[in-house]
Amino acid sequence: MAIEHLVVKQFIPNVLMTPLDNFLLTHIFEIAQHKDSVEFFAEEWPGEVIFLFDDEPDQLLEAIEKTKDIDPELCADVKRAMQTDGDTVEVNLYNFGSYCRVFQGIIRRSGGKLPYVTTQGAFACFETDDLGGMAEVITADAIEWVSTFPWAEDKLVELGLKQAKWT
């Protein structure tokens, strides 16, 4: 299964992002820079690993240094997620909660200026020709996720049109 598109519905104000937030999100997503904010999207599902080349590892370490007093936990977690493989540095995003954790930090520090972030994505499963979607709601206190695949199955069972898989 692959996500063909993922969009972050809110533009994120530049002023709310730390140097580390900006570095991570611009390496996870494609971006469109607007006057005072950034639009994040992905033509394909954002990967689980960021690969850093040339001077990018130094840029990441600089962003961590500039952010360490603002979000020390994220900085420490990102540092732990960094792995060197030859000339490449890899950062496993799921070791620290990926983009959801980054957005959640921005929300928490925003003082109510950014109360939530939502994402929407489109799935395509090539083996079964299934199409579907997903959405996330990220707040200061929660990360909620829903997919149309289990929702449709659950709804069919609820309506008595299909037997539950576990019976």
For residue 84, give both structure tokens: 């060197």
Query: Does residue 3 surpass a pLDDT of 60?
Result: no
> Residue 25: which of 140, 104, 86 has the closest Cα?
104
Q: What is the mean pLDDT of residues 89-98?
A: 90
pLDDT exceeding 70 applies to what percent of the chain? 96
| 14-62 per-position pLDDT tens digit | 999 999 999 999 999 999 999 999 999 998 877 789 999 999 999 999 9
pLDDT for position 2: 59
How many residues does the structure list for the chain? 167
Task: Look at 95 and 3; give whichever has higher pLDDT.
Answer: 95
- State the Rg of the chain over Cα: 18
H or E stretch covering 76: helix 72-81
Q: How far is CA 139 from CA 9, 14, 123, 144, 151, in A?
A: 14, 18, 23, 9, 22
Query: Does residue 87 surpass a pLDDT of 70?
Result: yes
| 112-132 per-position pLDDT tens digit | 999 999 999 987 777 777 788
- CA 26 to chain CA centroid, Å, is 11
Distance between CA atoms of residues 72 and 54, nearest Å: 26
Every domain of the chain and the residues it spans: 2-158
What residue has token string 């006057």? 35
E strands within 2-158?
2-8, 12-13, 30-33, 37-42, 49-52, 82-85, 88-92, 117-125, 130-138, 143-147
- What is the chain's mean pLDDT, rounded? 91
